[in-house]
Chain A
């Protein structure tokens, strides 16, 4: 097995990984940095983010408002000290991107333009038309090319963290093209592997968002935090799950049921007038808007499409000029994937899984409970999203905490004096375990196990949950993991570019993440943010559940769930009100 020495290994080449790499390279040019990703960095899922990134810059906006929106949006499950740090860094990071060349949309006078997103008191979302993630990712990738100390390992698939003496000291990866394994020795590792939305069938995410980064940490005894909080984005295309940005509503789009009625007014986000205004109606938070869809669907007031029920997202009143200026990709996506031109007709949309609020717990420096391991981006649970993430906070998160993790990991690597451990035995054992899969001739196909996982999660751990169905999901996942262990039958036995094999390894991690989600959900006997129960626990219960869920890996068995306290600094839990409380004197959009 080849071994490569570097000071720092970053797993994942998306927004968080690239930002971390640049931060590490800038903080110490002498440091050797390995950026390892299973895809070439610009293919990472950051590329698909559409609407924008939050940063206080509008004259009406304040850091306090950003704090309040984030904490109330997260239903008070946020780490408030971390949120405090976060809101203070966002604008600086978005400005940094501007200096690197990001083509932010501008006002006529050349200043940065911002738009409203759901749950915001003031316009705060920096955007680059409706391809914000695309522009951020490419800007970061291209900027990263300036730093000779960043060595990229494109299309290398990481499978295991190697821990010795209680510290992460290496990573086992496979070069996808050749199938050869490589041992990446290092003094610190940053996980920047993204979320796990592909645990569900109906999702807005790329095929690579499979949660194996979380799985790798989990397998090493790091708990997964708040995994029950899964975000459904309210507007995705039925069937494909392709995302229609919240920016569409930020620009003035409205949601209609089959009777052409703006149903959100019936779900605590009204009254309708005056419109538009912030934190109301279509500018409500994602959890509430998605949950309202579920109720409309139950009541039979949704539209039937060949791919299931939907409601209408109507942009017609914006006019072609504004749609082409602000939402050009949305128009293209609707035309290509839904045969609908939003200039002429409403787009059919429905909720789909979009984001994993939980993940590997870490502090504001990205440090996880495991020595030498840092996390940033969607795979991390740094604590700013709580029970429901506000749109635009995740792109800002990538930058703020990508940089923080990069700098602190660099510091650790620089100061580390421990002699390199002997990792060969561990690496060889892990490699042998993965290679053994190539010899399995009995068992089920990858696709069959994956499809069943989707079915279990969709039916058991959906938008609205109850103990019975969550319990069934837990049992079925346990059985499914057992079937996975018994063997996955591969058609492909070669080493070169064997994506079937790597997908099978990946699926092992994904199944564990799914299990952590289901068990965490079952253990939370209340409703909060995106976790909505119908079985008598339909209210928030601050007395018993104002706390994080922690899922602990237990080998082949189901996870152990316990709870950890939440840091509250200056905002005590209150009722979470949208609609009627929201500054009716202030117009939501400027023309």
Chain B
């Protein structure tokens, strides 16, 4: 085993049954070269303090459970390594901009509602019945949306987005990127249904292109691009709707 060193992990603590407000608690954690921040937290829970609460599951950066703030940076704790911070202490906090349920666990119900609001499923055009055959889609057509289909719903983008922090009515990066994922799919014909979400004040217009959502995304989804391309789409829709035949809004 590689050499063991010690690092101080300072965690935000909040217990809804006993605490009026959050506070910080520090733990000294022995760590090895390959230990992640998540493994540091697990060490604390297993050996030092069983009350420390956080979410985790796959520990390989695909389930999206373990997002948190490390020194004000939204990260997946499973792929953030203690060696990169030593000898300084690190501060671990719950994802910014979300209500804190307990310690590092945030309340994600608002996000889930937003995810549901964008019609995140294929809406085929009526009369298009592929029967029991797979539809055709060329690799290039797959590429049009595949990048936006990589979102693991880890919420780091929301924690990086000050617009969401300032106004949580904003639909936000991940949900809008997912909306764009289906719009960009050659098999989909549901753009019109999703346009309402895009066009709303809390749709793409809640974004001021801070751009941090794309910077912190561990899966390179680039929500900022999805949102800002749809500003053009929304603008076109705004001005061209008068030219459209009646009955189509």
Chain A partners chain B: yes
**A105 within 8 Å of B by Cβ?**
yes
A109 at the interface (CB under 8 A from B): yes
* Chain A residues with CB below 8 A from B28, complex form: none
| Contact yes or no, A206 B121, CB < 8 A | no
Please state if A337 and B65 are interface contacts (CB–CB under 8 Å).
no
In the complex, the answer to whether A142 meets B138 with C-beta atoms within 8 Å is no
The reply to whether A495 and B17 contact each other, CB–CB distance below 8 Å, is: yes
- Within B156-192, the residues touching A (CB, 8 Å) are 178, 182, 185, 187-188
Residue A112 CB within 8 A of the other chain: yes
Chain B residues whose C-beta falls within 8 Å of the C-beta of A42 in the assembled complex: 63-64, 152-153
Instruction: Tell which of B62, B64, B102, B152 touches A497, judged by Cβ atoms closer than 8 Å.
Output: B102
A48 at interface by CB-CB < 8 Å: yes
Which listed residue, B33, B47, B55, touches A447 by the CB 8 Å rule?
Answer: B47
Given A104-B134, A242-B59, A494-B17, check contact A445 B46 (CB 8 Å).
yes
| A100-B122 contact, Cβ under 8 Å, with A239-B34, A499-B53 | yes
In whole angstroms, how far apart are the Cα atoms of A539 and B108 in the complex?
53
Does A437 reach chain B (CB closer than 8 Å)? no
Partner pick for A145 among B18, B121, B133, CB 8 A cutoff: B121
Tell me if B15 counts as interface (CB < 8 A to partner A): yes
Verify A207–B59 contact, CB threshold 8 A: yes
B15 to chain A, nearest CB (A): 6
B132 adjacent to A496 (CB under 8 Å) = no
Which residues of the other chain, A, contact B108 by a CB distance below 8 angstroms? 40
- A496 contacts B102, C-beta separation under 8 Å: yes
Sampled A-B contacts (27; CB under 8 Å): A39-B65, A40-B108, A40-B153, A42-B64, A42-B152, A45-B63, A47-B63, A47-B152, A92-B132, A99-B122, A99-B135, A101-B185, A103-B146, A105-B142, A135-B149, A143-B121, A143-B122, A177-B101, A177-B102, A206-B57, A207-B57, A242-B59, A306-B34, A329-B62, A336-B61, A446-B46, A492-B50
Judged by a CB distance under 8 angstroms, whether B229 is at the interface is no
* B51 to A: closest C-beta gap in Å: 4
B interface with A by C-beta (< 8 Å): 1-2, 15-18, 33-34, 45-47, 49-51, 53-65, 79, 101-103, 105, 107-108, 112, 115-116, 120-122, 124, 130, 132-139, 141-142, 145-146, 149-153, 178, 182, 185, 187-188
Is the pair B137, A106 in contact by a Cβ cutoff of 8 Å? yes
Given the interface pairs A45-B58, A99-B130, A495-B17, the reply to whether A336 lies near B79 with Cβ below 8 Å is yes
CA distance A111 to B121 in the complex (A): 21
- B63–A206 CB distance below 8 A: yes
Residues of B close to A101: CB separation below 8 A? 121-122, 182, 185, 187-188
* Cα distance, A492 to B53, chains bound together (Å): 10
| A241 CB → nearest B CB, Å | 9
- Which B residues lie within 8 Å of A497 (CB)? 53, 101-103, 105
Complex contacts, B1 vs chain A, CB 8 Å: 306-307
A242/B60 contact (C-beta < 8 A), A99-B122, A108-B139, A496-B101 known:
yes
Min C-beta distance of A281 to chain B, whole Å: 27
Query: Closest A-chain residue to B54, C-beta based?
Result: A499
Task: Check if A48 sits within 8 Å of B58, measured CB to CB.
Answer: yes
Chain A residues close to B by CB (< 8 Å) = 39-40, 42-45, 47-48, 92, 94-95, 98-101, 103-112, 131, 134-135, 138, 142-143, 145-146, 154, 177, 206-208, 239-240, 242-243, 306-307, 329, 332-333, 336-337, 445-447, 490-492, 494-500
Starting from the known contacts A43-B58, A207-B58, A337-B60, 17 additional A-B residue pairs (CB-CB under 8 Å) come to A42-B64, A99-B135, A100-B121, A101-B185, A106-B139, A108-B139, A110-B138, A131-B150, A134-B62, A143-B122, A154-B112, A206-B59, A207-B59, A306-B1, A336-B61, A337-B34, A496-B102
The CA of A58 and the CA of B143, in the complex, are separated in Å by: 23
A95 and B134 contacting across the interface, CB-CB below 8 Å: yes
Name the residue of chain A whose CB is nearest to the CB of B134.
Answer: A98
Kindly list chain B residues whose C-beta atoms are within 8 Å of the C-beta of A499: 45, 53-54
How near does chain A come to B194, taking the closest CB pair, in angstroms?
Answer: 13
Residue of B nearest to A209 (CB): B57
Question: How far is B28's CA from A411's CA once the two chains are assembled, in angstroms?
Answer: 56
CA distance A240 to B118 in the complex (A): 37
Q: B50 and A446: CB pair below 8 A?
A: yes
Shortest C-beta distance, B219 to chain A (Å), equals: 9
Closest-by-CB residue of A relative to B139 is A106
For residue B49, give the distance in angstroms from its CB to the closest CB of chain A: 6
Partner of B56, one of A105, A138, A207: A207
- Cα A95 to Cα B15 in complex, Å, equals 47
Q: Given the complex of chains A and B, what is the CA–CA distance between A106 and B45 in angstroms?
A: 45
Chain B residues, CB < 8 A from A333: 60-61
* CB contact between B138 and one of A39, A108, A495 (< 8 Å): that residue: A108
The distance in angstroms between the C-alpha atoms of A500 and B130, with both chains bound, is 49
Residue of A nearest to B188 (CB): A101
Beta-carbon contact of B137 and A445 below 8 Å: no
Q: Which of A47, A94, A445, A500 is in CB contact (< 8 Å) with B58?
A: A47
Tell me the smallest distance from the CB of A454 to a CB of chain B, in Å: 12
CA distance A206 to B188 in the complex (A): 33
Q: Which residue of chain A lies nearest to B117 when distances are taken between CB atoms in the complex?
A: A145
Chain A proximity of B112: nearest CB distance (Å): 7
* Residues in A whose Cβ lies below 8 Å from that of B137: 106, 110
| Of listed A45, A135, A207, residue having the most chain B CB within 10 A | A207
Complex CA gap A527/B82 in Å reads 44
Nearest-neighbour CB distance to chain B for A501, whole angstroms, equals 9
Residues of B within 8 Å of A491, CB to CB, are 49-51
B151, closest chain A residue (CB): A138
CB-defined contacts of A243 to chain B, threshold 8 Å:
60
